Amino acid sequence: MAKHATPLLDQLESGPWPSFVSDMKQQAEVRAKNVENIEFQIPQDAVEDLLGILELSFADGTTHWKHGGIVGVFGYGGGVIGRYCDQPQKFPGVAHFHTMRVNQPGGKYYTAEYLRKLCDLWDFRGSGITNMHGSTGDIIFLGTTTPQLEEIFYELTHTHNQDLGGSGSNLRTPADCIGSSRCEYACYDTQDLCYTLTQEYQDELHRPAFPYKFKFKFDGCPNCCVASIARSDCSFIGTWKDDIKIDQEAVQAYIGGEFPPNGGAHSGRDWGPFDIQKEVNDLCPTKCMWMEGGKLKIDNKECTRCMHCINVMPRALRIGDDRGLSILVGAKAPILDGAQMGSLLVPFISAEAPYDEIKEVIESIWDWWMEEGKNRERLGELIKRQGFQKLLAATNIKAVAQHVLEPRSNPYIFWNEDEVEGGWDRDINEYRKHHQR
C-alpha cells in the first residue's frame, strides 16, 4: 500500500512512453522491501514522499520546493544545490532533498560496472532518484540530506575517482557531442577538447569567480547535435577550410537509388525516386553545386559548410581534411534581455592538443567579462551592452567581414580619437578667425 494516494499521477502510468511515475513507484517499492539490507542514510520512504509532494503540485498547480539554502562541500562553491520542501510535516522524507551534480564522462559513454557503483552509492546515501542527465549534461543525484553531502563527495573522489560538476556563477560542466568516436562528420575530437578544458579549468568550475554562469559546449560539425550555438556562452563548432571530398561513383549510386538518401532517415514514406537536382543542388544555400558531364561539381570557395549535401549523401561526400573549429560566443536563454544565439568570434582555429590557441581566446574573454561584467550579467549581455567591437579589442581579434551578416545600416560610428587625423583638440579662436559668430 502506497504511503500517499496519487490519483493524478497514476494517470501518467498508462500510454506507451516510459512512465516516470511507474519508475518512481518501483523504486519506492524496492526501498520498502530492501532485500539487500541497505542501511539507508536518508529516509527509506523518501521516494514515497517525493511522489506525494508531486501529486500535491499536480492538484494545486504550484511547486512545493523552496529556494536552495547555502549547502555544499568544503572548498567548492558549486556542484550541490540545496533544496527544501515547503510541507515538511506532511512529507518528512523529502524535507531536505538536495541535488548533487556529478560530472558526466565525455560522449556520455559508460560501462555497466561503473554505473552500478554509482547506483550503490546513491541507494545508500541518497534517494536513488536521478536525472540521466541534467540539461547541462551532468548526472544528477536528486535528493539527499546535508550530513550526507561530504560523505558522498568523499566516496566519489576516494572510491570512484569522480568529481562533482558546476553550479552557480562558475564554469558549468562542459558537454560534447559524440564526435569522432562514432561520427564521420566530426571535424575535431570533441571529447578530447571537452575533457582537456574541463581538467584545465577545474578551479573555475568549482569556485565561483565569474559574474554569472558560463557554459562551454562542443559540437563536432555544423549540424550542432548538442545545440552549442543556442545554449553555451562559448560554442565550439567543428568546420573545415578545404574541399568537400567527392566519391563520384557513390554519387551515381545515390542517383541510381542504390543508396538511400540521408542514410535512410526518410524511410517512413514514399517521397519518390531520389532527385539530386531538387534534393541537393537546388537546396544548397549558396547554389555552389551542379552536375556536369555526369559528375557532381562543387565550387568549394562559395560553400558555407551547411552540411546539407553531406547529410543527404554521406557515402559520396565527406568533410574536408583541413579541419578545425569556429568559436561563437554569447548564447543564452531569454532571461533577462531576450534570447541570444552565439555570435561568430573566431571563424577558424586549429583544434589540436594541447589547444593553447583556444585557451588564449577563452582566457582573454574571461578577463574582459570578469573586469566589465555586472553581477549576473551573461557574456552575451555584456557584448550587447558594450558592443561587439569591445569584445574584438579584448580578445585582440581583427574585425573581418565574416563577423557580420551585413554591415551596419546607420553611420553612428564611435570613432576613436587616434583614428582621426589631428586628434580632437582644436582651437576655437583659430576656428573663429575663418568663421564669424
Burial 322-346 (b: 16+ CB within 10 A, else e): ebbbbbbbbbbeeeeeeebebbbbb
Cβ(316)–Cβ(247) under 8 Å? yes
Q: Which stretch binds other proteins (CB under 8 A): 47-55, 347-355, 358-366, 425-433?
A: 47-55
Among 48, 49, 72, 76, binds other proteins (CB under 8 A): 76
Cβ(351)–Cβ(190) under 8 Å? no
What is the three-class DSSP state of 224? coil
Least distance to other proteins, CB of residue 48, Å: 13
Site for other proteins in 225-264 (CB under 8 A): 225-231, 237, 260, 262-264
97 binds other proteins (CB under 8 A): yes
Q: Looking at beta carbons only, is 149 or 394 nearer to other proteins? A: 149
Q: What 8-state DSSP symbol labels residue 176?
A: E
CA dihedral 8, 13, 16, 19 (to 10 degrees): 100
Site for other proteins in 310-329 (CB under 8 A): 311-312, 314-315
In sequence order, what are the residues at sequence separation of 6 or more whose Cβ sits closer than 8 angstroms to the Cβ of residue 294? Answer: 252
Q: Which stretch binds other proteins (CB under 8 A): 299-307, 358-366, 394-402, 416-424?
A: 299-307
Number of C-beta neighbours around residue 145 at 10 A: 19
108 binds other proteins (CB under 8 A): yes
Tell me the three cell numbers of residue 222: 555544423
Q: Which stretch binds other proteins (CB under 8 A): 140-148, 358-366, 386-394, 421-429?
A: 140-148
279 binds other proteins (CB under 8 A): yes
87 binds other proteins (CB under 8 A): no
Distance in angstroms between the alpha carbons of the first and the last residue of the chain = 96
291 binds other proteins (CB under 8 A): no
Q: Looking at beta carbons only, is 172 or 394 nearer to other proteins? A: 172
386 binds other proteins (CB under 8 A): no
Q: Looking at beta carbons only, is 22 or 386 nearer to other proteins? A: 22
- Binding map of other proteins across residues 152-191, x = CB under 8 A, - = no contact: xxxx-xx--xxx-x-------x-x-xx-xxxxx-x--x-x
Site for other proteins in 53-72 (CB under 8 A): 54, 57-68
Cα–Cα distance list, 299 to 48, 244, 290, 339 (Å): 63, 10, 9, 35
Q: Looking at beta carbons only, is 408 or 433 nearer to other proteins? A: 408
393 binds other proteins (CB under 8 A): no
Among 33, 37, 70, 268, binds other proteins (CB under 8 A): 268
For residue 315, the one-letter residue type is R
Q: Strand pairing of 323-329 and 343-349?
A: antiparallel
